[in-house]
Structure 1
């Protein structure tokens, strides 16, 4: 017996998983390997550079505009991340932490959310604890293979190339809020 699926731009999605997306009120994201391709560019003067995709930025703004909170939890500390996330309107930015589960729990408590109302996206071993607790654990297409095995959903897009936008689109589609007009790339 075949599983019931929902057809999306990103391929067919298990109907049960799609239904779970309807409950999401908070998306917690890692940065390196999720918003970026995971590479860190270092210049001769010590400057650090990362590339962020405007499609992911549009997805974050779309979530926020529809009342879905977005948080960033990352093990690295970077002014670039702070600037980018503030520009997108992300209020919960936690950097330099090795205690991702503790941060996840604080965010759930702060917003009085159950695990079923939280999605988390991450690409490597430190992110797995959040993926396992979240009602929807997501890994980008190029995440570590073990992380993909722990995820409920693996995006068709790679980290830094639209994985966050894919998750955003699917959540908004499931909730009937996906808009296909207006807006500005960010």
Structure 2
């Protein structure tokens, strides 16, 4: 049974311009649901969009997985009046209906998890339903416009614990068999299974205030994953962590970056104590590559934009967990990882938003002993294990 997902994205957005590409907790909004899809039971995930910039990002960023593909969406199915179903039908034709189950995922639902997607797929593969959708149980009392209650007796108001509540669509996950979809031309039809998600996933991103609330919810969710175990990997950003954040350019391009020799010695001692060093940076720099080679850091990854998904893949390959990682970052593109690892650190000169989210703000600046300080902290911490 081939399980394929579509994440439809439009270039235009009236409420929040450029919404799909705007960074939420340091990652483009669409990458949150894309990351969940990558690590789910789906076989293929298509980002279906009219935005060439996003398609270029997909082709460059997700080379480490064969599951993710970008596909150009026709303009007529990407305007304000086009329905999601019209985009799904266009998509199905473009891939020659090469699927048994089609899953619709919405980028505006960044709280969606791999398990939510798997639960929807299971409703079809295991429970025998022809479709499934995600819902939220809410204990709200609803009313008609004529002033009459819809779901309770005003003279016998139930207590929350005695009220079964209502199930409402949250618009996050839909799944359907190919036969049901082609017959009905609708995202769900016939026998429909329900997948319950947390109540906070009901919130939609229509304004900047919505954005701020959901970003805070994401940060708290990631922090809830934190566990304290032995640190086996120290993950480091480069600019603003290894270096002072400055880059010196000449007529021929990048000339120089400043590194601290004491950091290198600290990392060598750390490796001698069975802690692997991992370097992940969004930049492609020959200078960085040469410095990491000099430091004998074999786990060096350059040009990584979606650091969270990339690190999740690394964790899976190494058969370790987020709890076994410490991470040092200085800017917003590190936020998702900083909120998730066992222990997170920021140099003293990191951005304010990062220092607000990490477990420790170091006393030393980047390229001035910050990494060495972390190395000594880890060695002392690991003694208990």
TM normalised by structure 1 equals 0.81
Q: Which residue in the other structure is 1:94 paired with?
A: 301
2:380 to 170, 173, 179: 173
Q: Is the 8 A contact 1:40 1:49 kept in 2?
A: yes
SS at match of 2:366: coil
Cα RMSD of the aligned pairs, angstroms, is 1.6
Q: Which runs of 4+ in 1 moved over 6 A?
A: none
Shift of 1:109: 1.3
Question: In the aligned structure 1, how far is the partner of 2:289 from the partner of 2:379?
Answer: 25
Q: Please list, as runs of the form range in 1=range in 2, the aligned pairs for 1:10-49 lying within 5 A after superposition.
A: 20=228, 23-49=230-256
Shift of 1:35: 0.2
Q: Is the 8 A contact 1:101 1:130 kept in 2?
A: yes
SS at match of 1:150: coil
Q: Which residue in the other structure is 2:261 paired with?
A: 54
1:47-68 deviation per Cα after TM superposition (whole angstroms, max 9, x unaligned): 4310110011011111111110
Q: Please list, as runs of the form range in 1=range in 2, the aligned pairs for 1:142-161 lying within 5 A after superposition.
A: 142-161=349-368
Deviates more, 1:23-32 or 1:111-120: 111-120
Shift of 1:116: 1.2
Greater C-alpha Rg: 2
Question: In the aligned structure 2, how far is the partner of 1:45 from the partner of 1:101?
Answer: 33
2:326 to 119, 128, 134: 119
Q: Which residue in the other structure is 1:64 paired with?
A: 271
Q: Point out where structure 1 has 5 or more consecutive residues left out of the alignment.
A: 1-18, 178-186
Shift of 1:94: 1.0
Q: Which residue in the other structure is 2:121 paired with?
A: none
Q: Is the 8 A contact 2:247 2:254 kept in 1?
A: no
TM normalised by structure 2 equals 0.40
Question: In the aligned structure 1, how far is the partner of 2:276 from the partner of 2:316?
Answer: 14
Question: In the aligned structure 2, how far is the partner of 1:78 from the partner of 1:101?
Answer: 20
Question: In the aligned structure 1, how far is the partner of 2:348 from the partner of 2:317?
Answer: 30
Q: Point out where structure 2 has 5 or more consecutive residues left out of the alignment.
A: 1-226
